[in-house]
């Protein structure tokens, strides 16, 4: 009998570790985690499909949690070393550092993205992919997050966000953004809608009138 663990055994133990971490953090901060389960593979795949990476640029992920969407991004062809993950929770952050050793994994608040992102990447971000629990975040902070995101996005860049509401979670906070509903993950718990936000100009020149702070 082989003493080498099978691929299935290794994958199952990784999945167990992710779920254990997710639920432990959810019990200690349900609002901050904002979901009762990690994103489903279907939702992660639909999010990743929207994350276009352009020459010389990077993709930023906000609130990666246990890394389900990160994994889908890599599977969709985004090289791990062109991914920047921003996670607020210290335990999730440490987990992600171990799971994605070639990605740049930052611990911090998405509302301060433009400050915590190393200067060499500012304006060189093709897409920001967000699992942030916007529905439990006050409007003022949602606006600050969008401001920070559009300050680092490259011209023509996009913000991808999922939500459990049938409505856009940024429609009142940042009404000048162009929003498009791009997908629906019926088997996620709970079902989730995916939104794509752009500055509206297409060429990236017509930036939304975002506040200075
Ligand atoms: C819905 S969960 C992540 C789901 C993730 N796709 C997964 O499958 O594990 C939301 C994540 O956003 C993180 N988060 C919440 N507020 C944040 C903020 N202001 N900045 C960065 N991360 C934040 C939480 O710690 C949590 O890991």
The residues spanned by each domain of the chain are: 31-198
Atom of ligand 1 lying closest to residue 137 CA: 16
Backbone angles phi, psi at 43, to 5 degrees: -65, -45
Residue indicated by tokens 């959810």: 26
The rounded distance, in Å, linking the Cα atoms of 185 and 115 is 33
Please give the torsion angle defined by the CA atoms of residues 140, 150, 42 and 194, in that order, rounded to the nearest 10 degrees.
60
Task: Please tell me the predicted confidence (pLDDT) of residue 2.
Answer: 52
Backbone angles phi, psi at 41, to 5 degrees: -55, -35
Q: Is any atom of ligand 1 closer than 6 Å to the C-beta of 133?
A: yes
What are the 10-residue block averages of pLDDT along the chain, 213 residues in total?
61 78 84 83 96 97 97 98 97 96 98 98 98 96 97 97 94 94 92 94 44 39
What pLDDT is stored for residue 213 in this prediction? 36
Residue 176 Cα, ligand 1 centroid: separation in angstroms? 25
CA of 40 to the centre of ligand 1 (A): 14
Sign for the pseudo-dihedral over CA of 39, 42, 46, 49: positive
Q: What integer pLDDT is reported at residue 200 of this predicted model?
A: 73
pTM above 0.75, yes or no: yes
CATH fold of 31-198: Rossmann fold (3.40.50)
């Amino acid at each position: 009998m082989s003493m080498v663990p099978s691929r299935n055994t290794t994958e199952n133990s990784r999945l167990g570790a992710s779920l254990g971490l997710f639920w432990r953090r959810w019990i200690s901060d349900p609002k901050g985690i904002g979901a009762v389960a990690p994103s489903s593979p279907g939702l992660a795949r639909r999010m990743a499909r929207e994350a276009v990476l352009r020459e010389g640029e990077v993709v930023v992920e906000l609130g990666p949690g246990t890394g389900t969407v990160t994994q889908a991004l890599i599977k969709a062809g985004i090289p791990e070393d062109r991914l920047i993950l921003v996670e607020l929770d210290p335990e999730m952050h440490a987990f992600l550092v171990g799971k994605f050793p070639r990605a740049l994994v930052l611990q911090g608040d998405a509302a301060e993205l433009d400050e915590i992102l190393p200067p060499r990447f500012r304006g060189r971000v093709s897409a920001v992919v967000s699992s942030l629990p916007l529905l439990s975040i006050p409007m003022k902070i949602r606006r600050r997050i969008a401001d920070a995101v559009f300050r680092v996005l490259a011209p023509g860049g996009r913000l991808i966000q999922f939500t459990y509401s049938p409505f856009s979670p940024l429609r009142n906070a940042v009404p000048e953004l162009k929003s498009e509903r791009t997908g629906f993950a019926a088997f996620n718990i709970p079902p989730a809608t995916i939104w794509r936000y752009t500055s509206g100009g297409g060429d990236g020149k017509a930036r939304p009138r975002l506040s200075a702070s």
